[in-house]
Amino acid sequence: MSAALQPPALELRGVSAGYGRIEVVHDINIVVPAGSVVALLGPNGAGKTTTLSAIAGTIPLMGGDVLLDGQPISGLSTYERTRRGIVLVPEGRSVFPSLSVEDNLELVVRAATNNAQTRAERLAEVWEIFPRLAERREQRAGTLSGGEQQMLAMSRAFLSSARVLLLDEISMGLAPVLVESLFDAVQQLRDRGKTIVLVEQFLTYALRLADLCYVLGRGRVTFVGDTGEMRSGGGGDYLQIPDTAAAR
């Protein structure tokens, strides 16, 4: 079934947001079907990170509503949104540099469950998705390569009780081979039932994976496409999306 036919896990209805009194994104409408990958594309400064911040609640809305499973969450704190299953993996990595890879993950699974067996199973899942991290489980997180730290940040989000993952430019500054394995991992997270909003400048990777894509320009949605359907036949529109990474 097309991802577009699933009920929305997340929805932005006429969302406006910005910084201080300056509105940066204007009247954004986005639907993220449950269990899908939705790509949020667009050039530098288009408002992609701002949109994710509005979803995560790290900046207040200036208008509109964010809905999780059909319920408005715009009034909830970031903490409460995290508790309900929305987790942001921000630009730049968020790991504890002085702790080992395994301890970084232990901290999250311990918060999620007291059951040692369940914890071990969840960690085993991470080692399966990210074999590179398994090899480096004793290594201090701060000494991992950029891509490996990004994998660790994603693993932490995966181990939390997150249902909706907001991934902000996980490919930033990484070699193509690492980008490939990160995107493989995103696919595996989707296969395990996560709903994912993926901000990307590398269209090729994002469109290969995404079910739907939204292109932002100057704080507005300028294009919406069902990439799943485009891949399976139709959709010359696919070709009209500017490759923002190439345009830089």
Ligand X SMILES: Nc1ncnc2c1ncn2[C@@H]1O[C@H](COP(=O)(O)OP(=O)(O)OP(=O)(O)O)[C@@H](O)[C@H]1O
The answer to the question of residue 49 lying near ligand X (CB under 6 A) is yes
Alpha helices (H) along 113-226: 116-129, 131-135, 146-159, 176-191, 203-209
Question: Which residues 167-196 are close enough to bind ligand X by CB under 6 A?
Answer: none
Which helix H or strand E contains 83, and what residues bound it?
helix 78-83
Of 46, 56, 153, 154, the residue at the interface with ligand X (CB under 6 A) is 46
Of 8, 18, 49, 61, the residue at the interface with Mg ion (CB under 5 A) is 49
List all residues 6 or more positions away from 17 whose beta carbon is below 8 Å from its beta carbon. Answer: 23, 24, 25, 50, 51, 53, 54, 59, 60, 61, 62
The sheet with strand 61-68 has its strands ordered as: 22-33, 8-19, 61-68, 71-72
Q: Which stretch binds ligand X (CB under 6 A): 38-46, 114-122, 206-214, 223-231?
A: 38-46
- Report CA torsion sign: 77, 82, 85, 86: positive
Q: Which stretch binds ligand X (CB under 6 A): 9-17, 42-50, 72-80, 99-107?
A: 42-50
* Residue 124 near which of ligand X, Mg ion, none (CB within 5-8 Å, type-dependent): none
Q: State in angstroms the smallest separation of the CB of 201 from ligand X.
A: 6
Of 8, 33, 35, 47, the residue at the interface with ligand X (CB under 6 A) is 47
Q: Measured at the alpha carbon of residue 98, what is the angle toward residues 88 and 168, in degrees to the nearest 5?
A: 20
The answer to the question of residue 51 lying near Mg ion (CB under 5 A) is no
Residue closer to ligand X (CB basis): 35 or 47: 47
Interface residues with ligand X (CB under 6 A)?
A: 19, 24, 42, 44-50
